[in-house]
Chains A and B, each alone.
Chain A
Amino acid sequence: MEDSGEVEEEMNDVVFGLIYSSISLATPILLVSIIELIVEKGGVLNLSIEGSMLIGAFSAFMVAYYTDNLIYASITAAFSGLLLCLLFAFLTIALALDQMVTGIALNLLALGVTSYLYRASFGWYVSPIPPHIEKTIATLEIPVLSKIPLIGELLFNHIPHTYIAFIMVFICWFLFKTDLGLKIRAIGEDPEIAEALGINVNVLRYILLLVEGAIAGISGSLLSIAYYNMFLDNMTSGRGYVAIALIILARWNPLLLLPAVYFFNFVDVLQLRIQASGLAWFPYQFSLMLPYLFTILALFIMGRRVRGPSSLAKPYKKLR
């Protein structure tokens, strides 16, 4: 009898860990996908969030490594992510270049810059133990709520960003009920008419992209100064692209975004657990595939005939 009790407790621990880490690890993608959703509603498809996240992860790590101050690190991450998005905004708004190519090119740029600067500052042959920082972003227990048994520990014992991301989903939902949200949707559906109605399309898109850059930088920084304590080449490994996929899965609806993101992360954490549990007959590559397979499957089941904002990814040129 005692044995079965122990097994049960272990099972509870496993399930608890699974849910806890899928909530916790979802934060970067959740943060980025909410703001990207707003930007896409405004008619801009910004693939360069992948690059912004990577640059954020890198610059946050560098600042944390040399100053040991995580606040400075986060600010630098926000600022450097913003810089890349500013470049994207300039190229796609002022010069009206193709958003997809520009995004891909800037991601290549971010990949190059981070790996170049990392090597330039730590040397070509990184020692077996890569440089790492001593402290990472601590979890913030919410005073009263975290004392609730089980749920408190599960939901109210995360890094601050997780709460912010969660709140942002509802802010985003509320945003589209307001005047500003209507303007954003207008410039995403038909910028010419929006312009004729007196909305400054380009200024609004600039503002949206700058905010997005800062948020993407911060969410990338979570990878290097919250979950891990080091920087790795191409650390974001496609999280920005996944965020864009999840937006389509959520049909550009902020409230559907929440289950989509948590679902993806649950599968992702599950596959990590499958790997760690060492099922020898199940090749680890197949568990690595799972999140991507499930996204396609979910699109197949729920994402049929979804229509995005009409002017998404179309360069807007003012009438000359």
Chain B
Amino acid sequence: MSINYLLLTRFLLILVVIGSAFIVGGIIIALCGGNALLAFYWLFQGAFTPMLIPETLVRATPLLLISEGLVVAFSARMWNIGAEGQFYMGGISAAIFCIIFKYFTIPMQPIALLLAGLSGALWALAPSILKVRYGINEIITTLMLNYIAMYFVSYLLQGPFRDPVSMFPETESIPLHLQIPVVVGGTRLHLGVVFSFFVIVPVTYYFLERTNYGLRIKILGSSSRVAQYSKIHCDKVMIQSMLISGFLAGLAGGIEVLAVQHKMRLELSPSYCQYGYTGIAVALLSYLNPILTMFISIFIGGLINGSMTMHRMASIPVGMANIIQSLIIVFILIGYYVEDKLSWRILERLRRK
């Protein structure tokens, strides 16, 4: 029975947390002379009306893939901050592959996606080797590689692979037969969404919770000394966990290019929701639990879409999206703190009895 109480308090806490984030956001809007109620009406309209739920899922997909990867890396205590760069490298290599092979009318999406994942993994390889071989802090190297990837992609988009017809730095459109098909007509809900939610999530869960290998990652993450005693090859596991996270981030980039944008653009990860950085928050907020990650990325995806609707319909500047996102993250963290305190108190009471 006590477990049910815990679940109930957890659920109530989540409601309180989200409610208080919105109250603070509303106060900010009201202080700037906006109509907070109207703004939030549009926020929910944009996020969770039945019509727009496919859009929310489409938005959540890159977040989900990136954060699933980060869950693996963070479980092994590899702080990969470079998902943003890995995402971009995946996107650009998928786009380049499709442009080079655009005259082959056979479906080659899997190869393009594999290539995207591999280039993401490649972008994560250097920091992990530097970390394992030379003990160089991976937070810094992955962060620096984000900037390098951005500038590299910007070079490719303004130089060799720029669409000569377009006004913007972007590649030419990917031909229809190389795009990832849409599943439900009239929406943008594509096969990649289905794949991520129904294949990647269970596989990650199974991998981390049920296999020997996942256990090794977890032992390594809990304490490297224990890992050494239990004869786990720390270096190998660390590098592999980083490669998995790079692969998934690259895959996310490839799917975003082939299914949503249909071309590589500089704003593949727009400034109001930088997938790579938001993914870090999603992974950590879900307590590194692959299933919880799914729900949190759907929620954050809806929030991003909703704040865009809010921006269009209630003319609230885009910055509000960032504000609400950050408030939610902070309040979820506070929620965990309160939950921790509460469960500790419950334990104390049980002990006294």
Q: Which of A's residues lie within 8 Å of B, judged by CB?
A: 91, 95-98, 100-102, 104-109, 111-120, 124, 233-234, 238, 241, 244-245, 248, 283, 285-286, 288-289, 292-293, 295-296, 299-300, 303-306, 320
Judged by a CB distance under 8 angstroms, whether B202 is at the interface is no
Q: How far is the CA of A288 from the CA of B148 in the complex (A)?
A: 8
Decide if B271 touches A234 in the complex (CB within 8 Å): yes
Min distance, Cβ A279 to any Cβ of chain B, angstroms: 14
Q: Point out the residues of chain B lying under 8 angstroms from A244, CB to CB.
A: 140
Judged by a CB distance under 8 angstroms, whether B141 is at the interface is yes
Decide if A285 touches B136 in the complex (CB within 8 Å): no
CB-nearest residue of chain A to B283:
A101
Q: Point out the residues of chain A lying under 8 angstroms from B137, CB to CB.
A: 248, 299, 303, 306
Judged by a CB distance under 8 angstroms, whether B330 is at the interface is yes
Min distance, Cβ B2 to any Cβ of chain A, angstroms: 20
Decide if A112 touches B329 in the complex (CB within 8 Å): no
Q: Point out the residues of chain B lying under 8 angstroms from A101, CB to CB.
A: 280-281, 284-285, 329, 333
Decide if B32 touches A117 in the complex (CB within 8 Å): yes
| Cβ contact of A109, chosen from B271, B326, B334, cutoff 8 A | B326
Q: Which of B87-109 contact A (CB under 8 A)?
A: none
Decide if B135 touches A105 in the complex (CB within 8 Å): no
Decide if B333 touches A245 in the complex (CB within 8 Å): no
Decide if B159 touches A283 in the complex (CB within 8 Å): yes
Min distance, Cβ A243 to any Cβ of chain B, angstroms: 11
Interface-located stretch among B150-158, B178-186, B203-211: B150-158
Decide if A115 touches B143 in the complex (CB within 8 Å): no
Min distance, Cβ A169 to any Cβ of chain B, angstroms: 21
| Majority-rule SS of B interface residues | helix
Judged by a CB distance under 8 angstroms, whether B134 is at the interface is yes
Q: Point out the residues of chain A lying under 8 angstroms from B325, CB to CB.
A: 108, 112
If A101-B284, A104-B277, A289-B151 touch, whether A115 touches B318 (CB-CB below 8 Å) is yes
Min distance, Cβ A214 to any Cβ of chain B, angstroms: 22
| Cβ contact of B327, chosen from A96, A109, A289, cutoff 8 A | A109
Q: Point out the residues of chain B lying under 8 angstroms from A102, CB to CB.
A: 330, 333
12 CB < 8 A contacts A-B: A95-B337, A97-B334, A101-B280, A101-B284, A101-B329, A102-B333, A108-B322, A120-B32, A285-B154, A289-B148, A292-B147, A296-B140
CB-nearest residue of chain B to A244:
B140
Judged by a CB distance under 8 angstroms, whether B315 is at the interface is yes
Decide if B32 touches A105 in the complex (CB within 8 Å): no
If A105-B329, A105-B333, A241-B143 touch, whether A285 touches B318 (CB-CB below 8 Å) is no
Beyond known contacts A116-B317, A285-B152: 12 more, CB 8 A cutoff: A95-B334, A97-B337, A104-B277, A109-B327, A109-B330, A112-B324, A116-B318, A116-B323, A288-B147, A292-B144, A299-B137, A305-B135
Judged by a CB distance under 8 angstroms, whether B295 is at the interface is no
CB-nearest residue of chain A to B134:
A304
Min distance, Cβ A195 to any Cβ of chain B, angstroms: 20
Decide if B134 touches A300 in the complex (CB within 8 Å): yes
Decide if B320 touches A299 in the complex (CB within 8 Å): no
Min distance, Cβ B288 to any Cβ of chain A, angstroms: 12
Q: Which of B's residues lie within 8 Å of A, judged by CB?
A: 28, 32-33, 79, 130, 134-137, 140-141, 143-145, 147-148, 151-152, 154-155, 158-159, 271, 277, 280-281, 284-285, 315, 317-327, 329-330, 333-334, 336-337, 344
Q: How far is the CA of A101 from the CA of B70 in the complex (A)?
A: 13
Decide if B148 touches A306 in the complex (CB within 8 Å): no
Q: Point out the residues of chain B lying under 8 angstroms from A295, CB to CB.
A: 140, 144
CB-nearest residue of chain B to A121:
B32
Q: Point out the residues of chain A lying under 8 angstroms from B329, CB to CB.
A: 101, 104-105, 108
Q: Point out the residues of chain A lying under 8 angstroms from B148, CB to CB.
A: 289, 292-293
Decide if B136 touches A300 in the complex (CB within 8 Å): yes
Q: How far is the CA of A299 from the CA of B144 in the complex (A)?
A: 11
Q: Point out the residues of chain A lying under 8 angstroms from B318, CB to CB.
A: 115-116, 119
Q: Point out the residues of chain B lying under 8 angstroms from A124, CB to CB.
A: 315, 317
Q: Point out the residues of chain A lying under 8 angstroms from B130, CB to CB.
A: 296, 299-300
Q: Point out the residues of chain B lying under 8 angstroms from A105, CB to CB.
A: 281, 326, 329-330, 333
Decide if B151 touches A296 in the complex (CB within 8 Å): no
Q: How far is the CA of A47 from the CA of B199 in the complex (A)?
A: 35
Decide if A116 touches B319 in the complex (CB within 8 Å): yes
Min distance, Cβ A227 to any Cβ of chain B, angstroms: 20
Q: Point out the residues of chain A lying under 8 angstroms from B28, CB to CB.
A: 113, 116
Decide if A289 touches B333 in the complex (CB within 8 Å): no
Q: Point out the residues of chain B lying under 8 angstroms from A300, CB to CB.
A: 130, 134, 136
If A102-B333, A104-B280, A306-B135 touch, whether A286 touches B151 (CB-CB below 8 Å) is yes
Decide if A245 touches B143 in the complex (CB within 8 Å): yes
Decide if A115 touches B134 in the complex (CB within 8 Å): no
| Cβ contact of A119, chosen from B79, B155, B317, cutoff 8 A | B317
Decide if B333 touches A91 in the complex (CB within 8 Å): yes
CB-nearest residue of chain B to A123:
B317
If A108-B329, A115-B318, A119-B319 touch, whether A289 touches B140 (CB-CB below 8 Å) is no
Q: How far is the CA of A278 from the CA of B190 in the complex (A)?
A: 44
Q: Point out the residues of chain B lying under 8 angstroms from A100, CB to CB.
A: 79, 284
Q: Point out the residues of chain B lying under 8 angstroms from A96, CB to CB.
A: 337
